[in-house]
């Protein structure tokens, strides 16, 4: 069952705070990756490239966890468990440019690789825990 993102969690996701996503490897072990995070108010969103380990893991098992810590107060955080609701290439190039503006203050993503297909991953929160958020 989906859980709404409280205003404090949404604020954490829209600020330039890094997230860490955990996916499940084929052998059942965890795989954790730092990512730029975003939200549309319902979903937790991140951008990646097709074929990466986290993408392959999510194709096999849609379970995912995300933790986000406030860069200005490491005691303010959110931990979100959920499932991937959508993975799409549609709008992914524009979205990575939006993330480059947010995190690097650059209009376009400077690490673009023509051989990669950018992907947007939308996570539907099922359990949200937060601490010390306004």
DSSP string, the chain: ---PPPHHHHHHHHSS-EEEEEEE-TTS-EEEEEEEEEE-SSSEEEEEETTSHHHHHHHH--EEEEEEEETTEEEEEEEEEEEEEEEE-TTHHHHHHHHHHHHH--SS-TT--TT--EEEEEEEEEEEEEES--
Q: What pLDDT is attached to residue 112?
A: 93
Q: What pLDDT is attached to residue 1?
A: 78
Q: Quick one: average pLDDT of 28-56?
A: 97
Q: Quick one: average pLDDT of 41-59?
A: 97
Q: What pLDDT is attached to residue 71?
A: 96
The yes-or-no verdict on residue 58 having pLDDT over 80 is: yes
Q: What pLDDT is attached to residue 45?
A: 98
Q: What pLDDT is attached to residue 101?
A: 98
pTM across the whole model: 0.95
Distance (Å, rounded) from C-alpha 111 to C-alpha 12?
A: 25
Q: What pLDDT is attached to residue 134?
A: 77
**Cβ(101)–Cβ(49) under 8 Å?**
no
Q: Quick one: average pLDDT of 73-80?
A: 97
Q: What pLDDT is attached to residue 55?
A: 95
Question: What is the pairing mode between strands 73-88 and 118-131?
Answer: antiparallel
- How high does pLDDT run on average in the chain? 97
Q: What pLDDT is attached to residue 25?
A: 98
Neighbours of 65 (CB within 10 A): 17
Distance (Å, rounded) from C-alpha 76 to C-alpha 106?
A: 27
- % of the chain residues with pLDDT over 90: 98
CA atoms within 13 A on the CB side of 32: 7
Q: Quick one: average pLDDT of 10-39?
A: 98
């Amino acid at each position: 069952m989906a859980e709404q993102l409280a205003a404090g969690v949404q604020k954490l996701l829209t600020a330039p705070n890094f997230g860490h996503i955990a996916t499940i490897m084929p052998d059942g072990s965890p795989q954790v990756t730092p990512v730029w995070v975003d939200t549309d108010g319902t979903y937790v969103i991140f951008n990646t490239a097709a074929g990466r380990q986290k993408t392959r893991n999510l194709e096999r098992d849609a379970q995912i966890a995300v933790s986000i810590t406030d860069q200005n107060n490491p005691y303010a955080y959110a931990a979100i468990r959920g499932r991937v609701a959508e993975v799409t290439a549609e709008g992914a190039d524009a979205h990575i440019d939006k993330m480059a503006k947010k995190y690097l203050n650059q209009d376009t993503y400077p690490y673009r690789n023509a051989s990669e297909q950018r992907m947007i991953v939308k996570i539907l929160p099922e359990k949200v825990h937060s601490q010390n958020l306004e």
